[in-house]
């Protein structure tokens, strides 16, 4: 594997095609293709600056899409790659904010995601993250206590594999989580 990556780092044609794919994805605001390029950048251990620029473009596209969805009253259809990767970008941004101890900002994003994602398992993970950020539990503690890391794999974009303690937290903090969820209900009804 390492030998293949080293070869790819030196393969001029591959790198030119990667650059072409990146520019085309940016031009077309293709979040799925941008994530493919980003994953390749990460595997090739590209410079942090290049990775950050690419990731910021992904986040910008995701939030533009989110704003359009909210204005139209749409929800994510995770069977569509564009929706899945848009939700992933917003989720990753929420995680970043949480890691920086921005509990309010991350909580608001988990609240939105819990409303816009109808998949029961993923939604349960959003409720858990919503409750944990409302209680100002650190991201590291959350992952250590509530996420079954052994069940996560490369295709796991969300924290939806819970430990028994995570399941218990959901039950014990259901009134807090419901209180947070009521905030989105008010917003969806125009603040009535």
- How far is 174 from 142, CA to CA, in rounded Å? 16
- How far is 46 from 6, CA to CA, in rounded Å? 12
Which DSSP letter does residue 117 get? -
- How far is 124 from 33, CA to CA, in rounded Å? 28
- The tens place of each residue's pLDDT in the chain, 192 residues long, gives 666 777 777 778 988 999 999 999 999 999 999 999 999 999 888 899 999 999 999 999 999 999 999 999 999 999 999 999 999 999 999 999 999 999 999 999 999 999 999 999 899 999 999 999 999 999 999 999 999 988 887 778 899 899 999 999 999 999 999 998 888 766 555 544
DSSP-based three-state secondary structure for 78 = coil
**What are the structure tokens assigned to 37, written together?**
């390029």
Q: Write the CA distances from 65 to 8, 13, 101, 160, integer angstroms.
A: 33, 33, 26, 23
Record the pTM: 0.89
Confidence at residue 3, expressed as pLDDT on a 0 to 100 scale: 67
Confidence at residue 192, expressed as pLDDT on a 0 to 100 scale: 43
Q: Collect contacts of 136-140 with beta carbons under 8 A, ≥24 apart.
A: 136/103, 138/101, 139/95, 139/98, 139/99
Confidence at residue 101, expressed as pLDDT on a 0 to 100 scale: 97
Confidence at residue 1, expressed as pLDDT on a 0 to 100 scale: 60
Say how many Å lie between the first and final Cα of the chain, rounded.
Answer: 57
Angle (deg, nearest 10), helices 139-146 and 81-99: 120
Enumerate the domain spans of the chain: 1-74, 76-192
Confidence at residue 61, expressed as pLDDT on a 0 to 100 scale: 97
Confidence at residue 162, expressed as pLDDT on a 0 to 100 scale: 94
- How far is 20 from 15, CA to CA, in rounded Å? 9
Confidence at residue 188, expressed as pLDDT on a 0 to 100 scale: 58
Phi, psi values for residue 156, rounded to 5°: -85, 100
Phi, psi values for residue 147, rounded to 5°: -110, 130
Confidence at residue 30, expressed as pLDDT on a 0 to 100 scale: 96
Phi, psi values for residue 162, rounded to 5°: -100, 150
């Amino acid at each position: 594997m390492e030998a293949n990556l080293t070869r790819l780092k030196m393969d001029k044609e591959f790198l030119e095609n990667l650059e072409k794919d990146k520019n085309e994805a940016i031009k077309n605001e293709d979040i799925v293709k941008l994530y493919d390029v980003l994953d390749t950048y990460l595997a090739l251990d590209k410079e942090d600056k290049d990775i950050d620029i690419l990731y910021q473009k992904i986040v910008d596209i995701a939030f533009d899409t989110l704003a359009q969805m909210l204005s139209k009253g749409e929800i994510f259809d995770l069977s569509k790659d564009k929706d899945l990767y848009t939700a992933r970008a917003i989720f990753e941004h929420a995680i970043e904010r949480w890691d920086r101890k921005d509990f309010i900002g991350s909580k608001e994003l988990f609240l939105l995601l819990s409303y816009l994602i109808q998949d029961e398992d993923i939604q349960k993970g959003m409720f858990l993250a919503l409750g944990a950020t409302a209680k100002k539990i650190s991201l590291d503690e959350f992952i250590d206590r509530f996420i079954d890391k052994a069940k996560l794999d490369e295709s796991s974009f969300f924290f939806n594999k819970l430990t028994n303690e995570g399941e218990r937290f959901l039950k014990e903090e259901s009134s807090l989580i419901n209180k947070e969820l009521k905030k989105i209900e008010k917003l969806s009804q125009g603040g009535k």
